[in-house]
Every structure is written in structure tokens, then in C-alpha cells.
Amino acid sequence: MGRFLIISLLFFCSSCMLEYSSGLAKLRSEDYKGANEDLSIAFQKDPFNHEILFARALSRGFYGHYTGAINDLTRAIKLDPNNANYYFYRGYFKSKFGKEKGAIEDFSMTIQLYPYFPEAYYNRGIKLLNTGYLSEACQDFQTAIDLGDTLSIKFKNVYCRKEIIPKAE
């Protein structure tokens, strides 16, 4: 039993798990720079782990390094193209970077993969509103509201009063 414990401990310390766990803890405590450093080491040890890329993307994006976040999320999407969260956060960071069209595309893909994601409708609605697509934005706000989002209510009340919005089925 002791031998198994030693081997397990050596594996844990030599694998990326130590840095990954430390990076996640720093990410939770909003130490984004420290999280990025630990997650970068973990990624060097396991360069095909999309969960490490996702965590590092969050640390980079919340630190304000949007290009790095977008690049990490693009890699994570190549490794796991069916994860709606990856598209959502890539869209979120693209919007922070001023890439409205790319953000709309990513929010749309999020919705395609998981149509019950109210934040995706809300964020796409904001981007559609910013690019002049009022009717489509109002539909997204209504869908987000139907899914339980409360932030969309304000935008719907301000911008969509004259819009006729069909009830989502």
C-alpha cells in the first residue's frame, strides 16, 4: 500500500495536475496572473488538454490579455468542438476586443450547441443591437428572458417597446 501511495504521489507531482490545481485555485481567488503562470506550466506538460486551455483562457481574458484568451479558446475548440462554454467565452472575449461579428458567430454557435444558455442570447442580443439588428436583438432578449435572464429585461424595455416579439415556444 505504501509503495502505491509513493508511486501515485510521484505521478501527481510530475504530471500537470499540481500546476493545474494550483492554477484553478488562483483563478477562483482572482489571481489571474498567477493562474496564467501555473496553467501555462500545466499546458507545457499536457499540450492536448482542452480543460487546461480553457482555464488558461479564462485567466488570460480576465487579466485583459484578450488575444491570448481567444487563441487558447480556439485551440480548445479544435480539441473539443462540442463544448458550448468554449464558444461562449471566445465570443465574450472577442466582444471585449471589439470583434462584434466574430462574437455574434461564437454566441450563435453556443446557442446551436446548447439552446438553453440565456447568457448567450443576452450577449448576442447586445452585439446585434450594437451592429444595428434591432429586431433580431429583441428576439434574443425575449428568449433570454424566457430562459430566466433578468439583465435582458432592461434592454427589452428600452429598445424593444415597439417591436412585436413572438413568444418563444
Map out the domains of the chain as residue ranges: 15-81, 100-164
The angle that helices 84-96 and 100-113 make with each other, rounded to 10 degrees, is 160
Binning pLDDT at 50, 70 and 90, where does residue 94 land?
very high
Q: What are phi and psi of 164, to 5 degrees?
A: -95, 115
Binning pLDDT at 50, 70 and 90, where does residue 161 land?
confident
In this prediction, residues 50-73 reach a mean pLDDT of 98
Does the structure show a pLDDT above 80 at 10? Answer: no
Binning pLDDT at 50, 70 and 90, where does residue 16 land?
confident
Q: Which of 117, 116, 91, 115 is nearest to 104 (CA)?
A: 91
pLDDT, position 166:
52
Which residue reads 475548440 in cell numbers?
77
Distance of alpha carbon 14 from alpha carbon 36, whole angstroms: 19
Domain 15-81, CATH among 3.90.1150.10, 3.30.930.10, 3.40.309.10, 1.25.40.10: 1.25.40.10
In this prediction, residues 137-148 reach a mean pLDDT of 98
pLDDT, position 165:
47
pLDDT, position 13:
45
Distance of alpha carbon 165 from alpha carbon 121, whole angstroms: 14
Domain 100-164, CATH among 3.40.50.150, 1.25.40.10, 1.10.10.1100, 2.30.30.100: 1.25.40.10
Binning pLDDT at 50, 70 and 90, where does residue 146 land?
very high
Residue 152 or 165, more confident: 152
Q: How many CA atoms lie within 13 A of 94 on its CB side?
A: 23
Binning pLDDT at 50, 70 and 90, where does residue 67 land?
very high
The CA-CA-CA angle for residues 77, 52, 106, to 5°, reads 30
Domains 15-81 and 100-164 share a fold: yes
Which residue reads 504521489 in cell numbers?
9
15, 21, 27, 31: CA torsion to nearest 10: -80
